[in-house]
Structure 1
């Protein structure tokens, strides 16, 4: 991930100045890119990491946000645990200028690969708790503090529709997020004056992608080669601007949508 998504000599408009955001799984990859860019645009950001392995990377993200003049809070939290999710909400309120939470970006996810024949209950629960349970309960905890005009963004994946082997649980949980998006857009939209949208990336050049099973990478290669925008894996910088649009006032009439960030990838 490139730490700077916009050239340093380009002035970034503070179109999110005064907003407060939580970005789960934001120590590296797409989450780090989103957190840093939110900070560049004036938002105060809760940076979340889970294990000590991610602590050093998370500190760098925190510093990048603070260097932009925005506030940031660093929280070690296991998003599968409700007590840890409450820590994220508390951290957001501690840096919020008005005691509200404006932006929730549900980015934390687990993309481990497993053939159905090798499936275990432990594998299922690990993925479904991170990918589906965590967004549901973090949003539940944040509801009393959601600001008028708030934004909820769920990070889905093209895997929800591609039928790639080894992705039984991952694909199902990502499809579940897209269903949540539509339900919440209806259920929460008028009551809380928020929009709810999904962003659906294709393969992105992050640690999670390159650590995938070689067989899965091979299954994806023909799809990557046929991607209309370019025959390549995406970059973090291809996804972040789409998320920024959905965080902005300009996206006020977009809700319940699944926005592709895949270069037009389709199943071949």
Structure 2
């Protein structure tokens, strides 16, 4: 018996990293898991890795037509969702003087717009007692130089978790924010590589992006997936509107 037997879940941004780890853990616990991602090759590889419980549907969460197609297919195949993990996100290094309109649009469209409309379009399919998990970031708490726009989108997502938890409580739907710290993923590696080396602001920024935590290491995607499993399942049945940190103590100590 798995913790998510007979459940149907959606994980966005599930081709690699944390999203893939969550989808893999949910499937191992008995759920049917829909995975989304923008890159078909990576999505196909993720589905093959997870196995028969995984269904991949390519799409970009910032494009409403892609979301409509995604939910139409989930409706046809499964008819309901018990778990939604709005994980898709991007982070780019850009100090205030270097923020471009293109970079701003990319971060806000994927991180914030994508989260809002993923959950909105899932609403008609959410079962009573469903769990919605939103992804914030420790960067929203730390004031990391160069991550202003990214951190702002993640702070807004944490706020949405509170509001939506209140709005959906009468349906028994729980909404929580999961906030990772430094975790070893391909996306995090790309972001770290973008920081300039050698100056003090960069050193401060890198203290938040790579591995320095009170536990002395970066996290692993499977450790974040374990917390997502807790929020998705019945063990968190009395938890809503909360923010759970999986950051090695980075924002807490």
Aligned to 2:164: 184
CA RMSD of aligned residues (A): 1.8
Please tell me whether the aligned partners of residues 195 and 206 of structure 2 are also in contact (alpha carbons under 8 angstroms): no
Q: Is residue 2:6 matched to residue 1:18?
A: yes
- How far the C-alpha of 1:222 sits from its partner, in A, is 4.1
- How far the C-alpha of 1:227 sits from its partner, in A, is 2.1
Aligned to 1:214: 195
Please tell me whether the aligned partners of residues 59 and 67 of structure 2 are also in contact (alpha carbons under 8 angstroms): yes
Q: TM-score, normalised by structure 1?
A: 0.86
Aligned to 1:151: 131
* Separation (CA, whole Å) in 1 of partners of 2:127 and 2:182: 33
Q: Is residue 2:38 matched to residue 1:56?
A: no
Matches within 5 A, 1:160-175: 160-175=140-155
The count of aligned residue pairs is: 246
* Separation (CA, whole Å) in 2 of partners of 1:226 and 1:234: 10
After superposition, the Cα gap between the structure-2 partners of 1:267 and 1:15, relative to the gap in structure 1 and judged at 3 Å, is closer
Please tell me whether the aligned partners of residues 16 and 41 of structure 1 are also in contact (alpha carbons under 8 angstroms): yes
Q: Is residue 2:69 matched to residue 1:83?
A: no
* Separation (CA, whole Å) in 1 of partners of 2:139 and 2:56: 30
Aligned to 1:102: 82
What's the CA shift string for 1:151-176, capped at 9, x where partnerless? 10011110011000011110000000
Aligned to 2:18: 30
* Separation (CA, whole Å) in 2 of partners of 1:17 and 1:91: 21
Please tell me whether the aligned partners of residues 93 and 100 of structure 1 are also in contact (alpha carbons under 8 angstroms): yes
- How far the C-alpha of 1:73 sits from its partner, in A, is 1.9
Q: Match of 1:103, SS?
A: strand
Aligned to 1:259: 244
* Separation (CA, whole Å) in 2 of partners of 1:25 and 1:188: 24
Q: Match of 2:182, SS?
A: coil
* Separation (CA, whole Å) in 1 of partners of 2:98 and 2:202: 18
After superposition, the Cα gap between the structure-2 partners of 1:188 and 1:162, relative to the gap in structure 1 and judged at 3 Å, is same
Please tell me whether the aligned partners of residues 36 and 59 of structure 2 are also in contact (alpha carbons under 8 angstroms): yes
- How far the C-alpha of 1:92 sits from its partner, in A, is 2.2
- How far the C-alpha of 1:94 sits from its partner, in A, is 3.4
Aligned to 1:10: none
Q: TM-score, normalised by structure 2?
A: 0.91
